[in-house]
C-alpha cells in the first residue's frame, strides 16, 4: 500500500466521518428529541389515569428530560463513569435503585411500555453518539488485520541479501 493510497483512505474516512457525525447524527438526534417530547406528553396523559400514581410519573418524566438534556454526553465514556460511580458510591447506588424500584412496582402495562420506549430511544442516542468512533477504529482494525502481512514483509526484508537490496528501487530512487 503506497502513501498515496493511505492518504486516499484517510480522506475517504474523514468524509465518511463528516457525513455520519456532522449530518446524519444531528438529524437523528432531532428526531429522537421530538420522540422524547411526544413521550413526555404521553406520560402526562398517563398521569391523569387513576391507576398511575404521581410517584411513577415523576421518574418517567425525569428519564425523558434527562435524556433530552444530556443527549450530547450520552456515550460509552459517560456510561463507564456512571458504572464506576455505582460500584464505589453506596448512597448513589441506593438512590438509583430506589428510583428504578418505583417504576418497576407499577403494574400498569402502559407505564412499562413507555419505559421500554425511552430505553430504546436511549439506545439509539448511544449508537449515534458512538458511530464516529467506528471511523477511527477502522484504521486500527486494518492494521491489526494486516499485521501478519507486515511481519512477513519485514522478515523477508531482513533476510534478503545486501546484493539484492542494492538492486531494489524505492519510489524511483535506487538503494545502491
Please compute the mean of the pLDDT values over residues 32-49 and round it to a whole number.
93
Q: What is the pLDDT of residue 140?
A: 81
Q: What is the pTM for the complete model shown?
A: 0.73
C-alpha cell at position 82: 456512571
Question: Looking at 3-7, 35-39, 91-95, 110-114, which range is the least confident one?
Answer: 3-7
Q: What is the arithmetic mean of pLDDT over 81-94?
A: 94
Closest CA to 44 of 35, 34, 29, 54: 54
Confidence check: pLDDT of 72 > 60: yes
**Nearest residue to 60 via CA among 106, 25, 21, 26:** 106
Using an 8 Å Cβ cutoff, are 175 and 169 in contact? Answer: yes
User: Which whole number is the average pLDDT over 1-13?
Assistant: 80
pLDDT of residue 172: 55
Identify the pLDDT of residue 40.
Answer: 95
**169: phi then psi, degrees, rounded to nearest 5:** -120, 125
Give the range with max mean pLDDT: 7-11, 35-39, 105-109, 166-170: 35-39
CA pair distance 7, 9, nearest whole angstrom: 5
Mean pLDDT of 36-62: 90
* Residue count of the chain: 176
pLDDT of residue 6: 78
Q: What are phi and psi of 163, to 5 degrees?
A: -60, -40
pLDDT (mean) for 150-174: 73
- Phi/psi region, residue 147 (left: phi>0; alpha: psi -120 to 50; beta: rest), is alpha
Residue scoring higher pLDDT (40 or 175) = 40
Q: Which three cell numbers stand for residue 115?
A: 419505559
Q: What percent of the chain has pLDDT over 70?
A: 94
pLDDT at 131: 85
| Secondary structure letter of residue 19 according to DSSP | I
pLDDT tens-digit series, residues 95-149: 999 988 988 888 889 999 999 999 999 999 999 998 878 777 877 888 888 888 8
With a CB cutoff of 8 Å and minimum separation 6, the contacts of 45 are none
N-term to C-term CA, the chain: 23
Q: What are phi and psi of 60, to 5 degrees?
A: -65, -45
Torsion-angle region of 52 (φ positive above 0: left; ψ -120 to 50: alpha; else: beta):
beta
> Tell me, what's the pLDDT at 169?
64
Amino acid at each position: 500500500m503506497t502513501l498515496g493510497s493511505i492518504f486516499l483512505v484517510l480522506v475517504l474516512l474523514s468524509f465518511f466521518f463528516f457525513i455520519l457525525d456532522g449530518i446524519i447524527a444531528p438529524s437523528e438526534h432531532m428526531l429522537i428529541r421530538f420522540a422524547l417530547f411526544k413521550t413526555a406528553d404521553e406520560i402526562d396523559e398517563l398521569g391523569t389515569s387513576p391507576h398511575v400514581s404521581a410517584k411513577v410519573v415523576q421518574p418517567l418524566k425525569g428519564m425523558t428530560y434527562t435524556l433530552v438534556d444530556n443527549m450530547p454526553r450520552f456515550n460509552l465514556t459517560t456510561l463507564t463513569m456512571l458504572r464506576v460511580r455505582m460500584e464505589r458510591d453506596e448512597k448513589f447506588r441506593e438512590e438509583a435503585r430506589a428510583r428504578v424500584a418505583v417504576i418497576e412496582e407499577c403494574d400498569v402495562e402502559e407505564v412499562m411500555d413507555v419505559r421500554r420506549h425511552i430505553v430504546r430511544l436511549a439506545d439509539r442516542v448511544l449508537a449515534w453518539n458512538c458511530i464516529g468512533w467506528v471511523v477511527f477504529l477502522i484504521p486500527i482494525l486494518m492494521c491489526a488485520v494486516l499485521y501478519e502481512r507486515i511481519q512477513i514483509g519485514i522478515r523477508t526484508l531482513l533476510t534478503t541479501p545486501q546484493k539484492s537490496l542494492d538492486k531494489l528501487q524505492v519510489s524511483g530512487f535506487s538503494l545502491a
